[in-house]
Amino acid sequence: MATDKKILLITGGNTGLGLEAVKALVQSQVAYEIIIGCRTISKGEDAIAELKKQFPQTSSTLSTVQVDLESDELLEKAVAEISSKYGRLDILINNSGASFDYEILQGKMTMREGFNASWNVNVTGTHILTTLAVPLLLKSSDPRLIFIASGTATLTETEKSDNPASKRINSSPPAGWPKEVIGMQTTSYRSAKTGLNMLMREWRRILLNDGVKVWAVSPGFLATGLGGVGLEKLKQMGALDPAIGGHFLKDVVEGKRDHDEGKVIRRDMIQPW
């Protein structure tokens, strides 16, 4: 289907940061063909129905496709569907991610299961989807590839404890074993997200001569369902409205951070490695 609209696939676009990014994009003066990737099609359809009610005047078009980062078969099917329908992809936002640290802590997953799941979803599945989607991105006149990073993943800032947020993730527990859990338990998640930073740099290297602009976007500490902590507790800890992250993503899509391409970016700075 030929279209002049920018064709954008965002994984996990039916909830949290992804949904807020879609909300920001449908309010743009730019017309998009927004494809919401989600594991359960009905959830994507429900999100689209609500978006159409909330933004009836949008010039953008919304659809959904099944994307499960733990299933190669479904990823291949999703990209084939986009290829058949549109023939290209202008923007890929790898937004889907997951944290399993609390499942490990609560005994719902073994340590190996939790770590493997974290890397499988946040890094391996994201890499496979990107690999499948690149041929479609190369057919765009302005291809953009975005990975969602985390402020917890910066190696440079692991020694910081000068504010409540850094204390929660960087403070050391008292001597002895087993260790008391203090602050937020994020070991598997932040390790995988640090790996994602390298994945972004690898894709930037691989696609440098193809004109694909690549970023990792670190949206900040947002009140989303990630990690199973609960929205109210997150807000008490200082988490921000995810709409802030959604508008940040829109700015990157629309060229406001092109001068920081190839970096991990925050709203107000480049995130240190």
Per-residue pLDDT of the chain (273 residues; tens, 9 = 90+): 678 999 999 999 999 999 999 999 999 999 999 999 999 999 999 999 999 999 999 999 999 999 999 999 999 999 999 999 999 999 999 999 999 999 999 999 999 999 999 999 999 999 999 999 999 999 999 999 999 999 999 999 998 888 877 888 888 889 999 888 776 678 999 999 999 999 999 999 999 999 999 999 998 765 566 555 565 665 555 656 778 889 999 999 999 999 999 999 999 999 999
**Rounded Cα gap, residues 190 and 188, in angstroms:** 6
* Options 96, 118, 150, 188, the catalytic residue: 150
Whether 150 sits among the annotated catalytic residues: the reply is yes
Q: What is the pTM of this model?
A: 0.93
One of 32, 60, 191, 193 is an active-site residue; which one?
193
Nearest one of 43, 37, 64 to 130, comparing CA atoms: 37
Clarify whether 189 is annotated catalytic: yes
Among residues 189, 191, 250, 263, the one annotated as catalytic is 189
Q: Is 193 a catalytic residue?
A: yes
Q: Which domains does the chain have, with CATH numbers?
A: 6-265 (3.40.50.720)
